Amino acid sequence: MPMLYAVSAKLVADRAAEFHKRLTDGSIAAQRPDGAEIVAAMDRARVAPDGAARWTETCFCATPLRHERATVLDRYFTEIETKVIDKPVTFDGAPLMDQLLAC
């Protein structure tokens, strides 16, 4: 059964340009089974004034974001925290994709 998570993490700044390229060139989107959700989650992600990126993500793993972390998230983020939520949340802040583009 899928779970919905609120995620908070710190972007690894020196990998931002690489992350943006992979998000926009289709390589992450092509990843099965979760690539499209990772890309959609990053489109939803917002950067708070404290520098933390926050987003919601649906995951089918028993361990929160296990596959997503192993294949993508742990390379581009640190301090990843997840919390189970009942419904989607929209976070305040600047779009993460804008920040990635600026790096």
pLDDT number for residue 101: 84
pLDDT number for residue 1: 81
Residue 84's contacts (CB-CB under 8 Å, 6 or more residues apart) are 3, 4, 5, 64
Answer whether 75's CB lies under 8 Å from 11's CB. Answer: no
CATH of the domain at 25: 3.30.70
pLDDT number for residue 61: 84
Range of the domain at 8: 3-102
Q: What are 10-22's pLDDT values in tens digits?
A: 999 999 999 999 9
Of the candidates 63, 11, 57, 12, the one whose C-alpha atom is nearest the C-alpha of residue 35 is 57
Preceding omega of 33 cis (within 30 degrees of 0): yes
More confident residue, 2 or 21: 21
Q: How many domains does the chain have?
A: 1
Q: How confident is the model at residue 24 (pLDDT cuts 50, 70, 90)?
A: very high
The mean of the pLDDT values for the chain is 94
Q: What are 47-84's pLDDT values in tens digits?
A: 999 999 999 999 988 899 999 999 999 999 999 999 99
